[in-house]
Structure 1
Amino acid sequence: MDMRAGDYLQIIKEYHISWLCWRLLYVGKIKLLCHVAQAERFFKTGHFSLKIRYSGRHGKKGGPGDGDMDSRLDMLSFDLRSLQACVRGLGESDQERLLRQAGQAAEGKITAFSSRILDYGSPIRWNVNPVTGCPVDMRLKWYEIPDFDPKRGDIKVIWEASRLTHFYAFARAYLLTGDERYYRAFSAQLGSWLERNPSGYGPNYKCGQECGLRMINAWMVYSIFKECGCISPGDKRNMEELIRRCYRKICSDFFYAHRCIRNNHTLSELCGMILGAWCFREEARLKKAYRWLNEEIRRQFFADGGYRQYSYTYQRLALQLMEFVLKIEPITGHGLENGNRERLAKSAAMLYQLQNEDGDVPNYGSNDGALIFPVHSCSYRDFRPVVDGIMKGIKGKSLYPPGAYEEEALWFLPGKSSAAGEPAHPLVNKSGFSARSSRSDAPGPNHMQKELWRPAGLERKSRIYPDCGCYMMRRGNMMAVLYQQSFDSRPAQMDQLHLDLWVQGVNVLCDSGTYSYAEEEGKKLALTGSHNTVKVKGTEQMRKNGAFLIYGWPRSKILAADENWFCGRMVSVNGYAHQRDVSYKGQRILIRDTVEVIGRNEKKTGCAGCDPGGKKSQMQGKKEEHRDGKYGFGPFSEYRVLFHTPCKVRKNEDGLDLLWEGNVLATLKSDSRTIKTKPCYRSLFYLQKENITEIYMTPGKGETVTEIVIAEETDG
């Protein structure tokens, strides 16, 4: 997109001049490094120095802290008895799937983005995109590698293996079987990664977030095998080296995550900084990292529990990082402020409210397949594990009855340390698993569940989250969620006034997802036309440049909202306004969309169908006349009202039936001039898409009324 002077002014207005300055500083740094390679030394010394205490490896000399890293590296502990009982209590199909996943990962066939097996080779080619088969030249410094390269493909595919999330499959498979081949796979791949990824070279040092997640995942699994009595001196040296390299990368470029990105990347890098500073006994940096972390939590988590990145996938990612922070609080001696702990609990409670019975939530916002700690046998779309983990970590109790999702909490609750000289754990030692730890003798996976904590204030019902712009209506088997934000940070998708509808556990009207940040299909899914809202011909809700920079944020106003009714209005910088009124009564949802052209002399408008006092008029089941003059609406542009559904669509006399497995879940009617359908797709998993149907209505006036009749649930 060609940008004009007005676009730059808009960006400065929304992102602020400080953001622009830091962004330009980072761009300048990259250009300097590309032209003057010796300048890299500056970023490793002086203000950016890492005075780490190091125990010696790969030709480095030991420093004054020689040996300190070793003692701190081994301080993480787990309740192995409960973890083993949980894994061994899984159903037969879950156990088979775990062992298959671990066996494939040992051969370099890794479950990427929680959904598809990608063959990275054996030994793993850490610099190759297995989708395109294209490698990245490992002689290139990280700053010489472009973010986007059509020939190479999405760089996230390369990063996925180097996050080392598949290491958890090795640890869980070992806890299940006691088979040391899973430890050997971990040990070999840890060594391979260090050998094939020299510090600062190649794609796996481009992103500080990836370095932070890599440190955490490797250390967690290292600590499991350490407690099981498996770790060798070589593993320990490799773990030290991995933390050293990744810690150095994070500290040298942290200003970019802290001043420019300011989202889950910042949290990931801060967690990596905390781990590195603690391991290397840098108390000043450790305190600063915790201070920054508390500041970022206050900034990124709204007071009502919402997350500022406007994505439930990233909200889960941020909460999983906080599980790690809660786990290491007792050993670092630092922690989260009480107010921030409450924010995190509210955030988990919000996800609980949005959940379907199987733990799924709307596919809202960016969805890049991130499940950074896959420490359970639940599906990727099941958000119960993280909600359970946060609630147990902060409140000490759960919102759910016993289930397989409890395993995540076991990984992140403080463990039980062994006394010096004792075996690593009564269940596991260097000779393997004792006979008494067999599955038949082990307690079930839910033995840790002592009390159900579900106070009256947390029953699932209609909720309003005004800070993050989420408005939820619940009735029986129906959940409708509307989104309208007043942005003060970068949005990722153009989804203002999007409506998500669930009936009988089916996402009847859905968000189209993400697919990929690098592919054209994914870029289209971020635009207005991929959401259940109004699309004005020839324009978008906002403006976009590149893969991530969205600017020209709409002006938004909530005119009314309660448990049965929502009325909101957005004014786009691209010259139009959209007002949506949604009401629910009985088994009917009535949606009234009004579109108008906005010029210099924009008139203030009321809520169509609402009285000035903010009370709802009697409009259900009626077709009200369009009242241009009364409400000051200008001429309207051609537009469409869009809905997207995974259901089978069948025409009837009045409109469209939406069917799932042969049953009608809802019927959609409209007063528009035409109502048509066409094939499209959605993405529930990164780099995967499935065919769905777009329903579009072309009105003959500036106002459209859509009625959705929810089917009664029947037995069988």
Structure 2
Amino acid sequence: MKLGWYMQRLRAMSMAEICRRVAERLGRAFEVAHLRRISRQPWDGAFNDVPKLPGREHVPPELGKQLASDAAKLMRGEWDLFGWKSIETGAPPCWHRDATLGVVVDPAIPARKIDHRRLEHDADARAIWEVNRWSEMTRMAMHSALNGDVHAIHVSQLWLEDWCDRNPAGYGINWTSPLEAAIRLINFCWFDALVRGCNDPELARRQDALTARIVPVHSWWVWHRRSFGSSANNHLIGELASLVLALARWPSLASMICPLQQVVKLLGHEILQQFASDGGNREQALHYHLFAWEMCWLAGAAAGGFEKEVQHRLHLAAQYFVDVGEAPECWDFGDSDDAQVLPLPLSRSKAAAEFRGWFLGRAEGSVLRFWLGEPPKGVKASIHGKWLAHLESGQAVWRDACWTVRADASPLGLGSMAAHGHLDALHVSLWFEQCALIVDPGTGAYYSNPALRARLASWEAHNGPVPVAGRTCPRRSGAFLWADHHDRPYLEVSGDICLMSLACAAHVTRRAVHASQDQVQICDDVGSASAHVVTWCLAPGWRIERQHGLGFVCHHAGSASVFVTVSGDAIEHCEIIECQVSPHFRELATSQALKITFRGALATIWRKPG
């Protein structure tokens, strides 16, 4: 299997990329020596006032209380992993343990000898990395800065000193991903600014020593190990963004990396490459859209802004997120690991809704406005009762007071790997009275349960029509590698109707979505081909029951009932089944689904009561 993965991975690369990767692999033999040399060099710790932090006079009242509560839990070693899973990490945490499984990865192993994709006992590197992103230390520093609790910053410094002691540069799982080092660097920039803002001489002295241990080696390593070629996705954006922040705060880093404006230019190029001209992120994963956008926005603020075209693209990307996202029950499409850059929102579990509120200038975005200032200008709410299409990105959305409909006619993903894509072309997500009703199944896990991840990413887990015999392409060849991409689906909006089609394996499947105030009608046409299946997966909290014949009703405790009617040329089976969905990364829930087997044409109508 490992050999097969390498063969498929090579197919995704150009010859130039292969040569560069061979050179990089050879160079890793000397990496630890380089990092030791960097750590021993004299450090000019002179810093600029970047990032610019807000004053205490405008703190939203709810923020101080929430920060105090969060800091108290964190100092007891009680963390909410991925924003939802309560775990005991220890204080300080065990930095090399998958806290969800209790598996510890030996920290003495040179990082170049660790395959983070295949850890023992099914440990998931992403669960280990989550604890090592330092956002919790930033959260405690925010509490100290706003509530005057110097002890929390002192504890955070002790934890970071412990991290440095137990994670020597070049050893262990935490030196296997440049993106992870980049996120640590972004958090440390903010942490350093928060500490200095306390004007405490003892804290500043300890911070000087920490900065000398952390910033040079992290910056050098991220720069020299930054992603490239077929791997240049949101990882590269994060790596470059972290370097922009670090160079803007500590200008002397330029002597070991390069001038700040050169990195700003590289990041601007990636923004134009990875965000389409309609604002959508080409990764085709909505959570990573916001993740990458936030890193770009933080870097732009630190650098004093980007060139006009780049800045405009980020404004379009903010508008796209408002158009395509939904709150409070988001249910993103594509791969998602609930990643967080900085712990800025009031509540991590509601971060997407807070960002959406900030973009729109609403009250739910007040905490983000405190930290980040004014949002991008010109972002507006969607027009109710009309389809809004992002044709290049392949997403169309219809909203009114009752329904939100999101139709997906997107390409598989970014570049030759399409690392975070799902087989979701022609999928339709549906919200009723802001309650998620028909959902994308989610991601599940990255490395710890590959079978689950493959199932949730499959054609069958989404509700576009799929042949009963299944489809053989595209096929997943690795954790973040797809082979044999499908053709770009077709998307058109005509009046109240959204038209989509997918050509795959010499067969064309068509879907039309007609939305109105009273109902949403979804019509599928698979021609004279063999039997197809449509599986309407409901969000957890809904239950469905048959009324009569091909009529059903969906019940939800927090919403009115929704009626479902099915009709078609030749419906062979119509049954209620159980299915698995993943509301958050590493969370699995059981829900119900309506599974329909048919030939020719099928119409499914979702209708509100009355």
> TM-score, with normalisation over the residues of structure 1?
0.76
Cα pair distance change 1:72/1:591, threshold 3 Å:
same
Matching residue of 2:409: 484
Please give the secondary structure, in 1, of the residue aligned with 2:292.
helix
Partner Cα distance (1:2, 1:273) in 2: 33
Matching residue of 1:536: 467
Partner Cα distance (2:141, 2:2) in 1: 50
1:694 aligned to which of 582, 593, 599: 593
Cα pair distance change 1:455/1:571, threshold 3 Å:
closer
Structure 1 residues 511-542: Cα deviation after superposition (integer angstroms, max 9, x where no partner): 11011111132232111122121222343352
In the alignment, structure 1 residue 328 sits paired with structure 2 residue 328: no
Please give the secondary structure, in 2, of the residue aligned with 1:578.
strand
Letter in 2 for 1:477: C
Structure 1 residues 339-360: Cα deviation after superposition (integer angstroms, max 9, x where no partner): 111111121112222344x454
Structure 1 residues 463-491: Cα deviation after superposition (integer angstroms, max 9, x where no partner): 01001000112233111111112456315
2:483 aligned to which of 545, 551, 564: 551
Q: How does 1:455-604 map to 2 (within 5 A)?
A: 459=383, 461-487=386-412, 489=415, 490=418, 492-518=421-447, 519=449, 520-540=451-471, 542-558=474-490, 560-573=492-505, 576-585=507-516, 587-595=518-526
Partner Cα distance (2:149, 2:120) in 1: 42
Name the count of aligned residue pairs. Answer: 588
Partner Cα distance (1:174, 1:224) in 2: 8
Q: CA deviation at 1:328?
A: 0.9
Q: CA deviation at 1:322?
A: 2.1
Q: How does 1:200-219 map to 2 (within 5 A)?
A: 200-219=170-189
Matching residue of 1:648: 543
Partner Cα distance (2:544, 2:563) in 1: 9
Matching residue of 1:611: none
Q: CA deviation at 1:309?
A: 1.0
Partner Cα distance (1:281, 1:565) in 2: 55
Matching residue of 2:282: 308
Q: Name which one, 1 or 2, has greater alpha-carbon Rg.
A: 1
In the alignment, structure 1 residue 234 sits paired with structure 2 residue 211: no
2:124 aligned to which of 154, 158, 162: 154
Q: CA deviation at 1:51?
A: 10
Please tell me whether the aligned partners of residues 538 and 592 of structure 2 are also in contact (alpha carbons under 8 angstroms).
yes
In the alignment, structure 1 residue 407 sits paired with structure 2 residue 332: no
Please give the secondary structure, in 1, of the residue aligned with 2:523.
strand
Partner Cα distance (1:160, 1:455) in 2: 31
Please tell me whether the aligned partners of residues 359 and 382 of structure 1 are also in contact (alpha carbons under 8 angstroms).
no
Q: CA deviation at 1:184?
A: 1.4
Q: CA deviation at 1:23?
A: 5.0
Matching residue of 1:131: 100
Matching residue of 2:77: 108
Q: CA deviation at 1:224?
A: 1.1
Letter in 2 for 1:412: L
Please tell me whether the aligned partners of residues 551 and 563 of structure 2 are also in contact (alpha carbons under 8 angstroms).
yes
Matching residue of 1:262: 232
Please tell me whether the aligned partners of residues 593 and 703 of structure 1 are also in contact (alpha carbons under 8 angstroms).
yes
Q: CA deviation at 1:263?
A: 1.5
Partner Cα distance (2:166, 2:379) in 1: 52
Letter in 2 for 1:245: V
Structure 1 residues 638-683: Cα deviation after superposition (integer angstroms, max 9, x where no partner): 3211111021112111421111117544222212232111112221
Please tell me whether the aligned partners of residues 382 and 388 of structure 2 are also in contact (alpha carbons under 8 angstroms).
no
Q: CA deviation at 1:318?
A: 1.1
Please tell me whether the aligned partners of residues 209 and 268 of structure 1 are also in contact (alpha carbons under 8 angstroms).
yes
What is the CA RMSD across the aligned residues, in angstroms? 3.0
Matching residue of 1:658: 554
- State the percentage of identical aligned residues: 18
Please give the secondary structure, in 2, of the residue aligned with 1:250.
helix
Please tell me whether the aligned partners of residues 315 and 379 of structure 2 are also in contact (alpha carbons under 8 angstroms).
no
Structure 1 residues 195-215: Cα deviation after superposition (integer angstroms, max 9, x where no partner): 111011011111111111101
Matching residue of 1:667: 563
Cα pair distance change 1:101/1:365, threshold 3 Å:
same
Name structure 2 gaps, 5 residues minimum.
Answer: none
Matching residue of 1:639: 532
Letter in 1 for 2:544: V
Please tell me whether the aligned partners of residues 594 and 704 of structure 1 are also in contact (alpha carbons under 8 angstroms).
yes
Letter in 2 for 1:592: C
Please tell me whether the aligned partners of residues 145 and 202 of structure 1 are also in contact (alpha carbons under 8 angstroms).
yes
Cα pair distance change 1:119/1:663, threshold 3 Å:
closer
Cα pair distance change 1:238/1:323, threshold 3 Å:
same
Partner Cα distance (2:223, 2:379) in 1: 43
Partner Cα distance (1:77, 1:559) in 2: 43
Please give the secondary structure, in 2, of the residue aligned with 1:78.
coil
Structure 1 residues 14-59: Cα deviation after superposition (integer angstroms, max 9, x where no partner): x5x52x65257436744x47xxx744479x49xxxx997xxxxx7x
Cα pair distance change 1:381/1:550, threshold 3 Å:
farther
Q: CA deviation at 1:384?
A: 4.2
Please give the secondary structure, in 2, of the residue aligned with 1:711.
coil
Please give the secondary structure, in 1, of the residue aligned with 2:287.
helix
Please tell me whether the aligned partners of residues 77 and 88 of structure 2 are also in contact (alpha carbons under 8 angstroms).
yes
2:307 aligned to which of 320, 330, 337: 337
Partner Cα distance (1:456, 1:39) in 2: 52
Q: CA deviation at 1:193?
A: 1.0
Please tell me whether the aligned partners of residues 357 and 363 of structure 2 are also in contact (alpha carbons under 8 angstroms).
no
Please give the secondary structure, in 2, of the residue aligned with 1:321.
helix
Please tell me whether the aligned partners of residues 524 and 603 of structure 2 are also in contact (alpha carbons under 8 angstroms).
yes
Cα pair distance change 1:539/1:241, threshold 3 Å:
same
Please tell me whether the aligned partners of residues 320 and 386 of structure 1 are also in contact (alpha carbons under 8 angstroms).
no
Structure 1 residues 137-179: Cα deviation after superposition (integer angstroms, max 9, x where no partner): 1221112111222515111111111101112321232245322
Partner Cα distance (2:381, 2:588) in 1: 38
2:221 aligned to which of 231, 249, 252: 249
